Amino acid sequence: QSASEPASLPAEDISTNSNGPKQDSLFDDDPEDLFAEATEEVSLDSPERDVLLSDGPSPAITPITPPTSVLTPRIGLHDDMFTHSSFDEVKIEEEEGGDSFDIHISVSDPEKVGDGMNAYMAYKVTTKTSISLFKSHEFSVKRRFSDFLGLHSKLASKYLHIGYIVPPCAGKKHWMTKVKVGKEDQSSNEFVEKRRSALERYLMRTVKLPVLLKDPDVLQFLESSELPRAVSTQALSSAGLLRMVNKAAEAVNKMTIKMNESDAWFEEKQQHFENLDVQLRKLHASMESLVLHRKELSVNTAQFAKSAAMLGNSEDHTALSRALSQLAEVEEKIDQLHQDQANADFYLFSELLGDYVRLITAVKGVFDHRMKTWQKWQDTQMLLQKKREAEAKLQFNNKPDKLQQAKDEIKELEGKVEQGEREFEQISKTIRKEVSRFEKERVKDFKTIIIKYLESLVQTQQQLIKYWDAFLPEAKAIS
Partner 1 sequence: SDALSERDKVKFTVHTKSTLPNFKQNEFSVVRQHEEFIWLHDSFVENEEYAGYIKLQKLGEGEGSMTKEEFTKMKQELEAEYLAIFKKTVAMHEVFLCRVAAHPVLRKDLNFHVFLEYNQDLSVRGKNKKEKLEDFFKNVVKSATDVDDFFEHEKTFLLEYHNRVKDASAKSDRMIRSHKNAADDINRIASSLYTLGTQDSTDLCKFFLKVSELFEKTRKIEARVAADEDLKLADLLKYYLRESQAAKDLLYRRSRALVDYENANKALDKARAKNRDVLQAETSQQLCCHKFEKISESAKQELVDFKTRRVAAFRKNLVELAELELKHAKVPFQRHSSDSLYCV
List of residues contacting partner 1 (CB under 8 A): 84, 86, 272, 275-276, 279-280, 282-283, 286-287, 289-290, 293-294, 296-297, 300-301, 303-304, 306-308, 310-311, 313-317, 319-320, 323-324, 327, 439, 442-443, 446-447, 450-451, 454-455, 457-458, 461-462, 464-465, 468-469, 471-472, 475-476, 478-479
Q: Which one, of 242, 230, 244, 245, lies nearest residue 154 by Cα? A: 230
- How far, in Å, CA of 133 to CA of 430, rounded? 23
212-225 residues labelled b (16+ CB within 10 A) or e (exposed): bbebebbbebbbee
- Residue 60 Cβ, how far from partner 1 at the closest point, in Å? 23
Whichever of 192 and 320 has its CB closer to partner 1, that residue is 320
395-415 residues labelled b (16+ CB within 10 A) or e (exposed): eeeeeeeebeebeebbeebbe
- Residue 308 Cβ, how far from partner 1 at the closest point, in Å? 6
Let me know the angle formed at the C-alpha of 26 by 418 and 394, rounded to the nearest 5 degrees.
80
Whichever of 9 and 431 has its CB closer to partner 1, that residue is 431
β partners of residue 143: 123
- Residue 254 Cβ, how far from partner 1 at the closest point, in Å? 30
- Residue 165 Cβ, how far from partner 1 at the closest point, in Å? 16
Return the amino acid letter for 89: E
- How far, in Å, CA of 368 to CA of 182, rounded? 33
- How far, in Å, CA of 363 to CA of 347, rounded? 23
Whichever of 248 and 323 has its CB closer to partner 1, that residue is 323
DSSP states along 5-35 = --SS--HHHHTT--HHHHHHHH--S-HHHHH
Let me know the angle formed at the C-alpha of 421 by 50 and 4, rounded to the nearest 5 degrees.
120
Let me know the angle formed at the C-alpha of 374 by 370 and 380, rounded to the nearest 5 degrees.
145
Whichever of 398 and 462 has its CB closer to partner 1, that residue is 462
- How far, in Å, CA of 340 to CA of 199, rounded? 22
Whichever of 239 and 311 has its CB closer to partner 1, that residue is 311
Whichever of 244 and 327 has its CB closer to partner 1, that residue is 327
Whichever of 244 and 323 has its CB closer to partner 1, that residue is 323
Whichever of 176 and 443 has its CB closer to partner 1, that residue is 443
What are the CA-CA distances from residue 16 to residues 11, 37, 362 (Å)? 10, 27, 18
Return the amino acid letter for 29: D
- Residue 359 Cβ, how far from partner 1 at the closest point, in Å? 15
- Residue 302 Cβ, how far from partner 1 at the closest point, in Å? 9
- Residue 343 Cβ, how far from partner 1 at the closest point, in Å? 14
- Residue 200 Cβ, how far from partner 1 at the closest point, in Å? 24
Going across the sheet that includes 120-129, the strands are 103-113, 120-129, 138-144
- Residue 344 Cβ, how far from partner 1 at the closest point, in Å? 13
Whichever of 176 and 450 has its CB closer to partner 1, that residue is 450
Q: What is the CA radius of gyration of the chain?
A: 29
